[in-house]
Amino acid sequence: MSLPAPATPTSPEGLALHLEQALQLLGHSGQPLPPGDPTSPGWLQGLIDALVDLSSRDALTGLANRRAFDLALAREIDRVARSGEPALLLAVDIDHFKRINDSHGHGAGDQVIRAVANALIDSVRPMDLVARIGGEEFAIILPNCASAFGETVAERVRRRVERMPVAVGPGQEIGCTISIGGAFAPQWVRSTPSLWVERADQQLYLSKSQGRNLVRLEPSAVSVVSTEERRLLFETSQFLDYE
């Protein structure tokens, strides 16, 4: 793969920079090279941005990779602890992936992973983060997802994959399914990303052991305040101007 060779870039102090490998990596990954004068700070910033983007993506699927996921998860759990906004973490795993690899080859396995990645992206909101965190493992962080909607979202994701044919060769299509486990971040409480992942993983384990192609969410504490109680709490006009 040949690249346009820029003039030897230099740092603002005039030192020659060795960027061949960085540029090669970007070129190889199909990233556009930063435009402009290769000796300018703006160009270097563009190069750094492109490398940051590259280092946070999974090469096969283009999804966020493990590194980006860990960072996002830590940020999200901090936000939830302070703001009390509910956030859902879904752990996703392709069912019987080894079987797909064994009977159709690794190329087919890669096709399935790519197809599932696209299906996941398609079935969640743009603000949600979809990551590939292992071989056939994915994770989705859904900020500001009310607990009442968790099941609906996860089911939508599961069904989207279930209905999706994957082309693995000329005229050859296979189906695949995923198992999903989910847990909400603890509101108002300081927790750790690893604890959150562990809780989602426990649910994933349940959906695997209970037959696969299932969604299991950690049961949230039942709301202790009913709609009628809420209505009576706010029924007088004095609170209307706070709504």
Partner 1 sequence: MTAAPTPSAGPSPRIMAVTSGKGGVGKTFISANLAAALARQGRRVLVLDADLGLANLDVLLNLFPKITLHDVFTGKSSLNDAILPVAGGFSVLLAGSGMVEYSRMTPEIREQLQAVILEVEPKFDHVLLDTGAGISDVVLYTVSLAGEILVVVTPEPTSLTDAYATIKVLATTQGRRRFNLLVNQTRKLGEGRAVRHQLQQVVDRYVNPGLDSPVRLELLGEVPSDGAVRESVLRRQLLLDLQPGAPASVAIGNVATKIVGA
Q: How far apart are CA 188 and CA 176, in angstroms?
A: 38
Q: Which of 41, 42, 84, 135 binds partner 1 (CB under 8 A)?
A: 84
Evaluate whether 176 touches 161 at the Cβ level (below 8 Å).
yes
Alpha helices in 163-240 (DSSP H): 193-209, 227-233
Phi, psi of 209, rounded to the nearest 5 degrees: -75, -20
Site string for partner 1, 200-229 (x = CB under 8 A): ---------------------x--xxx-xx
The only residue of 28, 169, 210, 239 in contact with partner 1, by rule CB under 8 A: 239
Strands of the chain, DSSP E: 88-94, 129-132, 137-142, 165-169, 172-175, 178-184, 215-217
149 forms part of the interface with partner 1 (CB under 8 A): no
Catalytic residue flag (residue 155)? no
Give the residue with the Cβ less far from partner 1, 167 or 233: 233
**Of 13, 20, 136, 243, which residue is the catalytic one?**
136
- Burial classification of residue 125, based on how many CB atoms lie within 10 Å of its CB (0-12 exposed, 13-18 middle, 19 or more buried): exposed
Query: CA-CA distance, 77 to 187, in Å (whole number)?
Result: 9
DSSP state of 64: B
Does residue number 234 form part of the binding site for partner 1 (CB under 8 A)?
A: yes
User: Of 18 and 231, which has the nearer Cβ to partner 1?
Assistant: 231
Report the residue from 81, 121, 164, 206 that binds partner 1 according to the rule CB under 8 A: 81
What residues numbered 186-205 form the site for partner 1, per CB under 8 A? 186-192
User: Active-site positions?
Assistant: 136
Binding site for partner 1 (CB under 8 A): 81-82, 84, 186-192, 221, 224-226, 228-230, 232-234, 236, 238-239, 242-243
